Amino acid sequence: MQCTSLRPGWAPVELWICVLTLLLAGASNAAIATFDELALPPESHWNGADGSGGFTSGEVHFENHYNADWDSWDGFAYSNRTDPNLADWQAQYNAIPGCGQSGSANYGIVFVGWETLPTLTLTTPQVLSGLYVTNNNYTYYDMLHGSAFSKKFGGPTGDDQDWLKLTIIGLDAAGQATGTVDFYLADLRFADNAKDYILRSWAFVNLTSLGEVKTLQFNLDSSDKGPFGLNTPTYACIDTIVPQPPIATFDDLALPPESCWNGVDGTGGFTSGNVHFENRYNAEWEFWDGFAYSSRTDPNLAGLQAQYNAIPGCGQGGSANYGVVFVGWETLPTLTVATPQVLSGLYVTNNNYTYYDMLHGSAFSKKFGGPTGNDQDWLKLIITGLDAAGQATGRVDFYLADFRFAENTQDYILNSWAFVNLTSLGEVKSLQFNLDSSDKGAFGPNTPTYLCIDTIVPCQPFQGE
């Protein structure tokens, strides 16, 4: 389907952008939601009037709140309307490009009402590359021309510093905020008015900085406010939600079932995807440190024999393979990415050997929490980023076990895969891993210095397929 009925006066660049989206139609193949499987008669919409409270597209559920008394709605709707010239309230179901992203028929509508923020929920928590957004006709023309309720953006001279900002909030599976991403649907704050814009094509919003999310919430803010909030209509359009492919998963490494690789072949390391993992093996002592990988599944095995087991009994997402990290005596375990880049993060969990030593104690290490459970014990993972010159870019700390809470019921030893957000490290070429523990002796931590990792996710924007 083509983008039809282009508004008179559209510049060639806007026309080219619309055509270009057709060439990127492959993006929808990777998407977890596109709205295109939702049945609609031509030139129509769904706004929740059936009272169902929402809808699902692909792997995403979209909330909707419909009030039959007032024939009003907020949250999410979806539409296939194509008229880019329709304005005012009757145009609340129209996207200004006149089509969905990549020229598709259907797209989503977001309306920020009075009580709750529009919320979508993923079937499976994951890192998202992002989604596409554009302006809704109602909002677009109110900003372009003004109305009885809202001002013309830029004012009479075009010099007013007006803007419309979309804020997307990420929430994890526990409902805790992972971060926010701001995107300007209109921005007239430039010193050079020629750079001012009101978005009228589909644009990609990168969400990798949010890390692993279960839920996204949407909000709008504007320079044009009144006593009751925004004067600018609080609508936007969305389409094509895209997951972020990892750069390393360990699943491309061949392993027999219930086995491991620890560097005994003397190769000094291994590569998964676009990441190289260092390994040091001492044949004389049958000793290794750095990185290994495993497919072992027994979550009950304890002691040194369990050094190749991840406590969940599988890789992240139920995969077969995962990485094992052992912090030895001489050098820190180091991985290197093929191309320096910003990483969204990676998944970590406890190694069986470490987990059971913390849970029960051993001849060498203490039971975390002590006999009463009140000891302030902890095991901390420290990830340091290094740039291409080998200079540190920053560090991220993550607690694999934490007994420092005033309320002992909040104490934990991690027994599932957890996402560690690494965007604060900036562009990195390498990552170094270290472990620190409250249980120390003359030679360092008494707690076994092992952990498991999986699924390293980059932060570069999605480029289509």
30: pLDDT strictly greater than 90: no
Quick one: pLDDT at residue 192? 96
End-of-domain residue from the set 211, 243, 275: 243
* Structure confidence at residue 462 as a pLDDT band (50, 70, 90): low
Q: What is the pTM of this model?
A: 0.89
* Structure confidence at residue 413 as a pLDDT band (50, 70, 90): very high
Q: What one-character-per-residue DSSP string does 374-430 give?
A: -S--EEEEEEEEE-TTS-EEEEEEEEEEE---SSGGG-EE--S-EEEE-GGG-EEEE
Model confidence pLDDT, tens digit, residues 53-76: 999 999 999 999 999 999 899 999
Model confidence pLDDT, tens digit, residues 375-384: 999 999 999 9
Average pLDDT over residues 115-124: 96
Q: Tell me the CA distances in angstroms from 357 to 289, 363, 400, 411, 416, one per residue in order.
A: 19, 9, 13, 16, 17
Q: In 10 A of CB 393, how many CB atoms?
A: 19
Same domain, 202 and 264: no
Q: Is residue 437 part of a domain?
A: yes
Q: Which domain holds residue 360?
A: 260-458
Same domain, 57 and 163: yes
For residue 108, the domain's CATH number is 2.60.120.1350
Please enumerate in sequence order all residues whose Cβ is within 8 A of that of 47, keeping only pairs 6 or more positions apart, or say none: 64, 66, 73, 77, 93
Same domain, 230 and 335: no
Share of the chain above pLDDT 90, in %: 90
Same domain, 360 and 445: yes
Model confidence pLDDT, tens digit, residues 253-289: 999 999 999 999 999 999 999 999 999 999 998 899 9
Same domain, 177 and 273: no
End-of-domain residue from the set 192, 212, 243: 243
Same domain, 221 and 352: no
Same domain, 86 and 221: yes
Q: Is residue 1 part of a domain?
A: no
